[in-house]
Amino acid sequence: MISPILTVSGGAAPGGRSLVEALEDGAVLMFPDLAFPFSDFETRFVERPFADGKAKNVSIRGEAAALKGAAGTPEEQEALRQVLIRYRAFAQGLIDRHLPEYTGRITLAGTSYRPFDVDRRKLSWRRDDTRLHVDAFPSNPIGEKRILRVFRNINPSGQPRRWRVGEDFGSMAEKFLPRLPGYSPLSARLLAGLRITKARRSEYDHLMLHLHDALKQDMAYQERAPQADVEFLPGQTWVTFSDLVMHGAMGGQYMLEQTAYLPVAAQAHPEKSPQRILAAKLGRPLR
C-alpha cells in the first residue's frame, strides 16, 4: 500500500479515525489552511535565500539556540531566528490541537529554514534526497524514539513542494532486510568511544542506516517500486513520521520544518513503529 495523504480540515481524519491512528499507520496529514503569517520585514526570507550556502539549511536547536548557517545583517539574522522560534511554537500548537495524545510526550528538536531548491546536482547517492528513503541520522542514534516532522511550504510564487511517497514500511522491509549486514555491538561501542556517534548505535539504528543506504542505491527499486507523486502547495502544512513513510523530495523552494521525537512507548500503537515492525520481521527483539 502506498502512503496516503489525508487532508485535515476541521480536525478529524476522513473515516472517523483519530489523526494519531492515521499517522501511526503511515499517512501524511496535510493541513490546507493553517495560518502562519510573515511580516513585511520577513517577506525578504522568501525572496532570496538568507543562508551562508555551506549547509543545506539554516536551523536552530531549541528556543535559546543560536542560528546556524544563516546569512544577512545581524538584524536580519535575528528576525530569521524569530521566524524559526515562531514556527517551533506553531508546530507545538498543531500537535497540541490535532495530536493531543502526544502532548507532553513529544520533544521538539531542530527547526529549519530551507531556502534552496531541492538539490538536483549530482550529489553522492547517499545525500540524494530525491531518492525514496526513510530518515535515519548517521551520527545521532535514535534508539527507542520516533521521528515526527512538521513541514510547511512558504514559497511566495505558487511553487509546490513536490514529493514522491512510497510503499508501506513493512512491505519495503520485507524486500530489504535479508540484504542488510549483521549488527556488531562491538563496533557500535567503538563508534561511540571515538565520538563518531553521539550515543551507542543500537541494532535498530544500524538497520535503519543500512536500509536508508540500500534503498537509495537500488535504482531498479527507485524506478519500479510502488510510488505516487504528491504536491504540497504554498500555505499547506504537512506532518508525517519520516522514519516510517517512504519519501523523496523532488522539487520546490522555501520551506520550514520542525523535527520532533516521540518515544515508541508513547505511541497509541507501539507495534506500528519501525522498531517493532523490524523486530517482528526478524522474529526476535532488537539488541
Q: Which residues bind Fe ion (CB under 5 A)?
A: 135
Rounded to whole angstroms, the Cα distance separating 275 from 183 reads 15
Question: Is 140 within 8 Å of 110 (Cβ atoms)?
Answer: no
Burial class (CB in 10 A: 0-12, 13-18, 19+), 195: exposed
Burial class (CB in 10 A: 0-12, 13-18, 19+), 224: exposed
Closest chain position to Fe ion (CB): 135
Q: How far is the CB of 212 from Fe ion (least distance, A)?
A: 9
Q: How far is the CB of 85 from Fe ion (least distance, A)?
A: 24
Q: How far is CA 145 from CA 100, 164, 175, 270, in A?
A: 18, 24, 24, 11
Q: How far is the CB of 234 from Fe ion (least distance, A)?
A: 20
Q: How far is the CB of 157 from Fe ion (least distance, A)?
A: 24
Query: Of the candidates 82, 216, 36, 64, which has an alpha carbon nearest to the alpha carbon of residue 136?
Result: 216
Cell numbers linked to 28: 501524511
Nearer Cβ to Fe ion (81/161): 161
Question: Is 133 within 8 Å of 216 (Cβ atoms)?
Answer: yes
Nearer Cβ to Fe ion (21/135): 135
Residues in the chain: 287
Nearer Cβ to Fe ion (188/211): 211
Nearer Cβ to Fe ion (128/135): 135
Q: How far is the CB of 249 from Fe ion (least distance, A)?
A: 7
Helix extents (H) in the chain:
19-24, 74-98, 169-176, 185-193, 203-217, 219-224, 274-282
Strand partners, 113: 58, 256
Q: How far is the CB of 74 from Fe ion (least distance, A)?
A: 32
Nearer Cβ to Fe ion (46/215): 215
Nearer Cβ to Fe ion (134/188): 134
Query: Of the candidates 173, 163, 177, 135, which has an alpha carbon nearest to the alpha carbon of residue 227?
Result: 163
Question: 40 by DSSP, 3-state: which?
Answer: coil
Q: How far is the CB of 248 from Fe ion (least distance, A)?
A: 8
Nearer Cβ to Fe ion (76/135): 135
